[in-house]
Every structure is written in structure tokens, then in C-alpha cells.
């Protein structure tokens, strides 16, 4: 079973799943711990830096998902291949 029909939909669906997971009670706890850890490193962290940290964390989660789920890695490779073959 494929997650999506194309690269953009794949990224959108996996990202939405990440956001849903982070909005769960366990995800909120994890996000709070990440915030506390980053504030311990930089007590004067700006909202922009926190936004960047969350973006980097989402990218990290995406990467881990694709690495740990062989079917997702295969599908991502399929979509990337198709994107590379598109004529502009």
C-alpha cells in the first residue's frame, strides 16, 4: 500500500502525520522536553530560533520514519526517481 501518488503528497501526508503525533499528549510532552532542553542550552532563545528548532525536529522525525520503515524508503525513492525524470 502506497502512502501517496507523488512526491509532494508523500511529504504532505507524512508531515501531517508527524503534526498529529506531536499534537497528542505524548507528543506534547516530547515537545515540552525538547523546549526545556533547548532553553537549558540557550536561555535567551528567540521565537524564531524555537520555530527553527521545531522545523529541524520535524525533518529529523521524517528521516527516522523513512529509515525505519523499508516500505516508506522504497516509496520515497520511487517518488524521487519520478520527480527526477519529469521534464520541465
Tens of pLDDT along 19-73? 999 999 999 999 999 999 999 999 999 999 999 999 999 999 999 999 999 999 9
The predicted pLDDT at position 88 comes to 63
CA–chain centroid gap for 59, Å, is 4
pLDDT of residue 87: 76
What does the DSSP assignment read for the chain? --S-SSHHHHHHHHHHHHHHHHTSHHHHHHHHHHHHHHHHH-TT--HHHHHHHHHHHHHHHHHHHHHH-HHHHHHHHHHHHHHHH---
What integer pLDDT is reported at residue 78 of this predicted model? Answer: 95
Angle 47-49-20 (CA atoms, 0-180°, nearest 5)? 80
Q: State the pLDDT at residue 72.
A: 96
Amino acid at each position: 500500500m502506497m502512502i501517496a501518488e507523488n512526491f509532494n503528497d508523500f511529504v504532505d501526508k507524512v508531515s501531517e502525520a508527524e503534526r498529529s503525533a506531536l499534537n497528542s499528549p505524548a507528543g506534547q510532552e516530547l515537545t515540552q522536553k525538547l523546549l526545556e532542553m533547548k532553553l537549558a542550552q540557550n536561555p535567551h532563545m528567540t521565537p524564531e530560533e524555537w520555530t527553527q528548532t521545531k522545523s529541524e525536529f520535524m525533518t529529523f522525525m521524517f528521516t527516522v520514519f523513512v529509515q525505519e520503515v523499508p516500505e516508506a524508503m522504497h516509496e520515497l525513492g520511487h517518488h524521487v526517481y519520478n520527480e527526477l525524470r519529469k521534464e520541465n
